[in-house]
Chain A
Amino acid sequence: NAGVTQTPKFQVLKTGQSMTLQCAQDMNHEYMSWYRQDPGMGLRLIHYSVGAGITDQGEVPNGYNVSRSTTEDFPLRLLSAAPSQTSVYFCASSYLMGFSGNTIYFGEGSWLTVV
């Protein structure tokens, strides 16, 4: 019963480096999304996808890329890491939005530090 799996859990990057946060879900959910959570800021939506081949920007997309080649996977790429991207990142998935009571399942989070 894997649910939403995120890797890595912890990562330290140097400014300018690139990396990919992996997210996979085994619940056949159409909707997947990435959030970042910073102290005092709450969860903010970075990118989301409503199905394979479809992605869209959220509230804070700059500096991040996503792709959705399969229903299961939704990787988040940091193109050139900056200290401002130090944060906790959560991947989440659910059946398509619009139905009251849909549960959003979150991964356990990825703690990223950019030095």
Chain B
Amino acid sequence: RKEVEQDPGPFNVPEGATVAFNCTYSNSASQSFFWYRQDCRKEPKLLMSVYSSGNEDGRFTAQLNRASQYISLLIRDSKLSDSATYLCVVQAGTALIFGKGTTLSVSS
């Protein structure tokens, strides 16, 4: 089993749609969790950290379920500019483990 697994995608949605990405991780000792965004041929950039209580940043909501070892990202009212690859990232010890990413394409 891969350490961090994500929905394979791609997700193709119209503007204004709500889309959810899921991620599971295998190491129960994982400490911190993040969603990163990566645009084509660019470096990954932090979208948001994920906390046990869940957290929201504008149209983006992240949830963590430690018991099920599951992380989610919800994007509401999708914009064209949300088109990118979203990486689920899990910290275990001093290592960051990246999922392969889920590609989102938002069309008008």
Contacts and interface: CB of A to CB of B under 8 A. Distances in A.
A106 B44 contact: yes
A45 B95 CA distance: 8
Interface in B80-108: 87, 89, 91, 93-101
B93 to A, nearest CB: 7
A97 B42 contact: no
Most central of B45, B95, B96, B100 by chain A CB within 10 Å:
B96
Which of A42, A90, A97: most chain B CB closer than 10 A? A42
A100 B100 contact: no
Interface string B29-51: 00110101000011111100101
A61 interface: no
Interface in A24-71: 31, 33, 35, 40-45, 48, 50, 56, 58
A100 B95 contact: no
18 contacts: A42-B87, A43-B98, A45-B96, A45-B97, A50-B94, A90-B43, A90-B44, A92-B96, A96-B94, A97-B93, A97-B95, A98-B31, A100-B51, A101-B32, A104-B44, A104-B96, A108-B42, A109-B43
